[in-house]
Chains A and B, each alone.
Chain A
Amino acid sequence: MSGLTNGGRPDQAAPVAPAIELKGISKAFGPVQANKDISIRVMPGTIHGIIGENGAGKSTLMSILYGFYKADAGEIFIHGKKTEIPDSQAAIAAGIGMVFQHFKLVENFTVLENVILGAEDGPLLRPSLAKARGVLKQLAAEYELNVDPDALIQNLSVGHQQRVEILKSLYRQADILILDEPTGVLTPAEADHLFRILDNLRREGKTIILITHKLREIMEITDTVSVMRRGEMTATVKTSETDPPHLAELMVGRKVLLRVDKKPATPGKNVLEVRNLRVVDDKGVERLKGIDLTVRAGEIVGIAGVSGNGQSELLEVLGGYADGTGEIIMNGESLDLTGKHSDGQSRRARGIAHVPEDRQREGLIMDYFAWENAAFGYHRDPRFRSGILTNNRAMIEDTERKIKKFDVRPPNPYLTAKNFSGGNQQKIVVAREIERDPDLLLVGQPTRGVDIGAIEFIHQQIVALRDEGKAILLVSVELDEILSLSDRIAVMFDGKIMGERLPDETDQKELGLLMAGIEGDPDKPLIEAVDEQLHAKEAREAKKNG
């Protein structure tokens, strides 16, 4: 990130109207006050970060600015002019563009078709497409926004799809860009490229609002940062005058340990051995291409990688709900990978507990009470049974105990899962799995969408389980998490393990290269090497898709 400069910015002391000024914005959903009297000024030609925990109200605020919600109170000024934004059409007309966390692209359209979608000049497509082609070429040259205009979206990498989203906004003449958690799905190198694009945009006088929960990104690219907590804007500071611990404190409202305190590991015998594990998905694509991996008692093995490179499939096979070939040996015994004993129940019986990657899709039944969820997967335990009926009393008491131990809030077992915050939902899952005293704990994205306070707690619980001599396999797309928790790191790319490293002997850069499938060529500039790889992958996939 050394290449970034903040040069070329207009002098903020000059009497320039802010590009965006929000005054006293409030928004309530029922009794929940999502935004409380929020005021903010974003100067033109700057990158303004908005940081805050999940549920702090960042997305609501941006949705108001983009016309998805109507504020209960407050005013919006764009370039000094009071503006009403009743819908997204008005936002686009006011020069605001938004890049959502989940892209809004038509998968089987080309880049060009996506760019003109909704901004066609007339009933005939040809003139619009020709015009867009020209504009895209120019934008590509100006901002390093290179994308093949004729490629189908479904054949593009995530990083390139994101560029298309940015191009869409620029094509609609946006001079204010809002990016919602833009790096969540990117490799470090792709994120670097994105930041260079943003830097170029800033230099050309565009205004950018960057919503993120990653402190590092805020420090790296923004000029000013606003912190949100529980619907309120708690502080707006110059980035150069703050540091991560201070920001974290502002976000959470108390001092936070950003590093995990842990003793060196004392690994014991092999608990899990994976040999030449292969998985073919139902479309016939090979997702795991021969994985070899060992996890020993008393150690945390972290799997790093950009999401979608086979980590999910690895967890699914280990957890017993996807078929595979090869060999998985648990405590010296081979596991059934395709047959009758290849299901979640059999795996649990073998001492494998699993905190799945997506708690809302897999780990919990969102409409079940906390007490029903706290037994989920273990509901056939004889403890929870009386005769042919379930022993709900026992489940509820068990839940009350877990809630207390894991400080789940609110401590009410009769609440449905969807009424808990992300962090507390995750605590329910983690409590359920850890309290079974497993030999091996599979953990997928343990802190995705979890607030900083709960992250700290969940990390401590995982380390404590390791210290009890249990084996832990951690999958995470957050490199910081992998680096701070793992005793050994394996990097996955394209269904293979690219290499193993010790956390003390590696860094973000080296892991980033491995995550992009490059086994290290120090002479080549990082970005070029990564782009090359991605292009090669796209070409391969395009060929495969015919």
Chain B
Amino acid sequence: MDRMPAWADAVLVPLISLLLAAFLSALVIIAIGENPIDAFKLMVDGALMRSSGWGYTLYYATNFIFTGLAVAVAFHARMFNIGGEGQAMIGGLGVALVCLYIPWPHWSLALLGSCLGAAIFGAAWALIPAYLQARRGSHIVITTIMFNFIAAAFLNYVLVNLLRPVGAMDPATAKFPEATHLPTFQDMFSTAASPMFRGAPANVTFFLALLACLLVWLLIWRTRLGYEIRALGHSEPAARYAGINPVRTVIIAMLISGGLAGLMSVNTTQGEAERLILNSIEGAGFIGIAVALMGRNHPLGVLLAAMLFGFLYQGGAELALWTNIPRELIVVIQALVILFTGALDNMVRIPLERIFLAFRRGNS
């Protein structure tokens, strides 16, 4: 076999890619006259060394886990769902409606309800592109990206004209009732003696995200549906031969994908803002693509990649706060990470593969 071992593929390649991205980022930081080592320290301090930093890192990671899983599930059916952004927005609408118009007695029930609302609304937003792809052959990339814009415009309309409380100036819903507020990490882990995660937005939804990772893993590798989704993704002629209905399977995979993207809104809308605002997604739908790419569409990989991007988001915010490094540079660093771990994957993989083969030939 002219292959390198699986561990090298799964661990070494992304690690080296990351180091390369970090190295280039360091060069950029030097170029604007800051010290990259100090900057890195600041990022680690801000994102990982304090519990409130973790509280932000995990909050962002929760978003990225959901959108990353969404992209991953669709990708197993070879559907490139880049509409996570729009599906999450519409999912947010579902959360808002559930929280605002149903009198929940307790947050746990409200959470169940809002999850259902988010998933159904997100899935519904993915349904039309899925149908158009499966039945009409309209390319999913085109339709989902268009649906992002439609979602934004639609949400804008709904917030401004329908859900905005009378007299309010900003395009947002009213605050959700107290009973629907989710416990944050601060509520859960602080004791009177030692406050933890103070002021951080991480909340119980993070555990939902972990659960989603497990469920997606089961779905993809331990159910008939997952077996059929993967089969269809690898080869449509083979799927048809085996009696797998391509139209049905594509649509189901996209519904699950959209549902997962929608679930992200539970975290931002019910967990953090406690009302639906216009721009609650903040590009997490797109970050999900990078997360899935870097995590090789495997739930565990998605989880790790989401943590990394959570760290970059929070660490980046710290940088912008405490140094002269402008906010835009953080975007540059994130872009470099995406570029190296995703798009330039083969740049690292192929030389590494050669080295491994040379070693093996030397040994044999």
Q: How far is A389 from B231 in the complex, measured between Cα atoms in Å? A: 16
Partner of A344 from B224, B242, B361 at Cβ < 8 Å? B242
Whether the Cβ atoms of B357 and A365 lie closer than 8 Å is no
Q: Is B211 an interface residue (CB 8 A)?
A: no
Q: Is the CB of A376 within 8 A of B231?
A: yes
A389 touches B223 (CB 8 A): yes
Q: How far is the CA of A388 from the CA of B215 in the complex (A)?
A: 12
Q: Does B227 contact A (CB under 8 A)?
A: yes
Closest to A340 in B: B245
Please provide the chain A residues from 399 to 429 with a CB less than 8 Å away from any CB of chain B in the complex: 419
How many A-B residue contacts, CB cutoff 8 Å? 75
Contact A389 to B222, CB < 8 A, known contacts A343-B243, A377-B243? yes
Closest to A362 in B: B241
Would B224 and A390 count as touching, CB distance under 8 A? Answer: yes
Residues of B within 8 A of A344 (CB): 240-244
B337-364 vs A, Cβ < 8 Å mask (1 yes, 0 no)? 0000000000000000000010011001
By the criterion of a CB under 8 Å from any partner CB, how many residues of chain B are at the interface? 24
> A361-B235, A379-B224, A389-B218 are known contacts. Are A321 and B241 too (CB-CB below 8 A)?
yes
User: In the complex, A320 Cα to B245 Cα: how many Å?
Assistant: 11
Contact assessment for A31 and B360 in the assembled complex, using a CB-CB cutoff below 8 Å: yes
Report if A390-B222 is in contact (Cβ < 8 Å); known contacts: A30-B1, A31-B361, A345-B243: yes
Q: Which of B228, B240, B245, B357 has most chain A Cβ within 10 Å?
A: B240
Residue of A320, A385, A389, A419 touching B243 (CB-CB under 8 A): A320
Most-contacted residue by chain A among B227, B240, B242, B357 (CB, 10 A): B242
Bound-complex Cα distance A419 to B2 (A): 11
CB-CB contacts below 8 Å: A298-347 with B = 319-321, 343-347
Q: Known contacts A29-B2, A376-B231, A389-B218: does B241 contact A348 (CB below 8 Å)?
A: no
Chain B positions 32-54 with a Cβ under 8 Å from a chain A Cβ: none
Does B238 sit at the interface, judged by CB under 8 A?
yes
Partner of A364, one of B224, B230, B238: B238
Residue tally, chain A, CB below 8 Å to B = 35
Cβ–Cβ contact B224 & A385, under 8 A? yes
B249 shortest CB reach to chain A, Å? 12
CB distance from B364 to the nearest CB of A (A): 7
- 9-residue interface stretch from A156-164, A366-374, A454-462: A366-374
| B199 touches A (CB below 8 Å) | no
Question: Who on chain B is nearest to A384 by CB?
Answer: B224
**Bound-complex Cα distance A380 to B240 (A):** 15
Q: How far is the CB of B361 from chain A (nearest CB, A)?
A: 7
In the assembled complex, the CB of A121 is this many whole angstroms from the nearest CB of chain B, namely 40
Partner of B242, one of A361, A366, A377, A389: A377
**A100 to B360 Cα, complex, angstroms:** 34
Closest to B244 in A: A344
Contact A390 B223 (CB under 8 A): yes
A446 at the interface (CB under 8 A from B): no
Query: Could you list 18 examples of A-B contacts with CB < 8 Å?
Result: A30-B1, A30-B357, A31-B1, A31-B2, A31-B361, A32-B2, A319-B241, A344-B241, A345-B242, A356-B241, A361-B237, A363-B238, A364-B238, A372-B227, A377-B241, A377-B242, A380-B224, A392-B222
Residue numbers of A with Cβ under 8 A of B are: 29-32, 319-321, 343-348, 354, 356, 358, 361-368, 372, 376-377, 379-380, 385, 388-390, 392, 419
B: which residues have CB within 8 A of A? 1-2, 218, 222-224, 227-228, 230-231, 234-235, 237-238, 240-245, 357, 360-361, 364
Interface contacts beyond A31-B361, A344-B241, A345-B242: sample of 6 additional A-B pairs, CB < 8 Å, sorted by A: A321-B243, A361-B238, A366-B235, A368-B230, A376-B231, A392-B222
